[in-house]
Amino acid sequence: MPAYYADSQLKIWCTTDPPGVRLAGQVDLTNQAALAALLLASDSHPGPAPAPAPDLTVDLSEVTFLNFSALHVLVTYASMMDRGRRLVLCTRKPVVAEMLGACGWDRIELPLTLLELIPDD
């Protein structure tokens, strides 16, 4: 499947099972706008359309770098989600949880779930 977005540092694919996006590479100031645009587009449906899935999964398992401003994009999107929906972050690295904690974003009421996957050996 071709990437929805690709530059020299990051590739983003839309996923259907689970509904969401998969990222590979580095997410930073140069490409975080593409991530934000894709997240916002995931909720916009012209005309009558089915309701968005309750959960939107962001697979970060292939991300090699994620800066705080890119994480802020994800947290901001989660804070804008409709009641009953949540953003699910999947990662193989504990650093995402550490970054959430460093910013205090783990202590505020957000529809955000962090799933730390078991790393492949």
Residue 79 lies in a domain: yes
Q: What average pLDDT does the structure give for the chain?
A: 86
Residue 121 lies in a domain: no
Q: What is the CATH number of the domain that holds 12?
A: 3.30.750.24
Q: Tens of pLDDT along 21-51?
A: 999 999 999 999 999 999 988 766 555 556 6
How high is the pLDDT of residue 121? 53
Please give the residue range of the domain that contains residue 20: 5-44+52-116
Residue 25 lies in a domain: yes
Residue 35 lies in a domain: yes
pTM, two decimal places: 0.85
How high is the pLDDT of residue 67? 93
Residue 111 lies in a domain: yes
Higher-confidence residue of 42 and 11: namely 11
Question: Of 9-18, 36-45, 47-56, 107-116, which has the strongest mean pLDDT?
Answer: 9-18
Q: Tens of pLDDT along 79-92?
A: 999 888 999 999 88
Q: Which residues contact 72 (CB under 8 A, 6 or more apart)?
A: 103
Contact 4, 41 (CB under 8 A): no
How high is the pLDDT of residue 49? 53
